Amino acid sequence: MRLAVLGATGSVGHELVTQALAAGHEVSALVREQPMPDRIDSRVTIVVGDAMSAEAVKRTVDGSDAVVSALGHAKGSPDGVLARASANVTAAMRTNGVDRLVVLSSPAVADAADRPGLFYRFARLTMRIAIASVVLDHREQAHLIEKSGLAWTLVRGPVVFTDGPHTGRYRAGPIARDSGWRISRADLADFLLATATGDAFLRIKPLVSKSRS
């Protein structure tokens, strides 16, 4: 399968690309600047550009079977970067006839099936106060994707990402009282890849976290 990846040089995106290549997939990646030779595998097709550019996103998506976005907010990111990037992605996918979209999202994005316990209720309140503009961007992104008509999955990461091992063991589903609060970047990438290359979790918003059991 040919995967188009946004956010490929970030911590989760880099792990995603590594796992995708190991599994035999082809990868095209949108990056803001040409990476150093040791930063990204030579087998990756590099598109230099910005996710805010519709033309750069279209070049990345061309010829792909699925799109995975591991974009996040970095220091200095413009307001609305995720929503604007997602508008470009969904437009490019419709133009190119690509249907499968998997996007890394936030627990600040709600789902009707959620039944959060005290921890996630407090976490959402804290995020709304401390990083209000980031929460708004994630929610605008989710709204755009849900209305896109594509075969989307919004993968909500937990509160903390770690550098722990790739175990392939995690919980995926609505936010519940027993939902975990952390996951390794390797396991999060594992779920993003499995979801992008399969047909599970269509048009839903699972939280993926390390099991608390």
Residues of the chain above pLDDT 70, percent? 99
Work out how many domains the chain is built from and give that number: 1
Q: What is the pLDDT of residues 118-173, one digit of tens each?
A: 999 999 999 999 999 999 999 999 999 999 999 999 999 999 999 999 999 999 99
| CATH number, domain containing residue 195 | 3.40.50.720
Question: Which 8-state DSSP code applies to residue 13?
Answer: H
pTM over 0.75: yes
Rounded to 5°, the CA angle 196-199-202 comes to: 90
pLDDT of residue 176: 96
CA dihedral defined by 209, 40, 24, 100, rounded to 10 degrees? 60
Among 28, 48, 51, smallest CA distance to 137 is for: 51
Residues of the domain holding 185: 2-209
Give CA–CA dist 192/198, Å, rounded.
Answer: 10
Beta bridge pairs of residue 112: none
Q: What are phi and psi of 105, to 5 degrees?
A: -130, -160
